[in-house]
Homo-oligomer: A and B are copies of this chain.
């Protein structure tokens, strides 16, 4: 079976970790033999934008649509305003490809350390999966500016929540919670301050909850949620939150689990009419770009999730093999600096490739 992958390395360390991920994926395909990956490489990036004035060509979405999945590195570079780069590349892909679910698992990998002293003796206390609404809410893209360049400028951001949008993400979240050992879902909201969209969000949550009597559920305000993540990580399992809340909480989750460099994300179209997209949650990291020291683990973990998604159950063993290889490598202490190691990207990549051959 051959899968067509659109690869978009993007900017900064995005290119370095995408190269590393492809190396690992190729090794996996070679060792396993049951599937092949056929790549189209897209040079859509801030660099290209500076040269030719665009990120994606006018038929960019059609080109992507011809693929089974999209592998994404990172986008954003200091010489282009962030809202230009993101709204010309990553955000339109999430929206046009109907990737309304963003899945962000977090746990403490063997041989690595959480900054929380409470997790030191038992790293399994932190094992979460954040389900992020990925298509609307605070990222609806509406809003505007009036009285520009005047002392009275007014600018707005419009967050839009639809029942359809909320229902589908809640259902996905309950299904995820159900599939996990603890069957526990925590919903995050800010309905005390935001009386319209967030109140609808709460309402639909409780409605959908009725369909899942076997799943324990509770509700947290987003501010209090950060406290609970810090103080009582073991009390959380599956988490569902809006586009912005989950953006914030998933970075916090990654930091609490040891490093933002290990965290993967899957932008999914559960209808499978469009390719889903897999990307580490870290950015282009201009400060370390070009030095070959970026942590490729988030990229590898994202690659494992891509294989799992493509295989629809049939390639889980291979995805697990990659995860096992990653864990053996971190456990052995082959880690980049953000994980308190002293290996570089290439060394971690080669160690994972060697593990793939043996595990």
Residues of chain A whose beta carbon lies under 8 Å from any beta carbon of chain B: 76, 81-83, 85-87, 91, 115-118, 120, 138-139, 141, 143-145, 147, 150-164, 190-200, 221-224, 226-227, 230-231, 244, 247-248, 250-252, 254-256, 260, 283
Contacts and interface: CB of A to CB of B under 8 A. Distances in A.
A253 to B, nearest CB: 9
Given A83-B191, A193-B139, A152 B163 contact: yes
A39 to B, nearest CB: 27
A160 B156 contact: yes
Given A157-B198, A248-B248, A115 B224 contact: no
Q: How many copies does the complex hold?
A: 2
Contacts of A159: 143, 156-159
B153 A162 contact: yes
For the complex of A and B, 10 pairs with smallest distance between CB atoms: A82-B192, A223-B251, A226-B252, A143-B196, A117-B117, A153-B163, A227-B255, A230-B255, A155-B200, A83-B195
A261 to B, nearest CB: 10
A25 to B, nearest CB: 27
A255 B227 CA distance: 5
A221 to B, nearest CB: 8
Contacts of A163: 147, 150-154
A252 to B, nearest CB: 4
A115 B157 contact: no
B226 A86 contact: no
Given A227-B252, A231-B115, A138 B194 contact: yes
A251 B231 contact: no
6 contacts: A82-B192, A143-B196, A155-B160, A190-B244, A224-B260, A227-B252
Given A120-B117, A155-B161, A159-B159, A143 B197 contact: yes
Contact of A154 (B141, B156, B160, B192): B160
Contact of A248 (B138, B198, B223, B231): B223
A249 to B, nearest CB: 8
Contacts of A157: 158-159, 161, 194, 196-198
Contact of A251 (B161, B193, B227, B255): B227
B198 A226 contact: no
B231 A254 contact: no
B251 A226 contact: yes
B115 A192 contact: no
B155 A196 contact: yes
A83 B193 contact: yes
B251 A143 contact: no
Contacts of A164: 151-152
A264 to B, nearest CB: 15
Contact of A255 (B162, B226, B255): B226
Given A190-B247, A226-B251, 20 more contacts: A82-B192, A83-B192, A83-B195, A85-B192, A117-B117, A138-B193, A143-B194, A143-B195, A143-B196, A145-B196, A154-B161, A154-B163, A157-B159, A157-B194, A158-B158, A158-B159, A224-B251, A227-B251, A227-B252, A227-B260
A8 B192 CA distance: 19
A223 B247 contact: yes
Contact of A195 (B87, B196, B221): B87
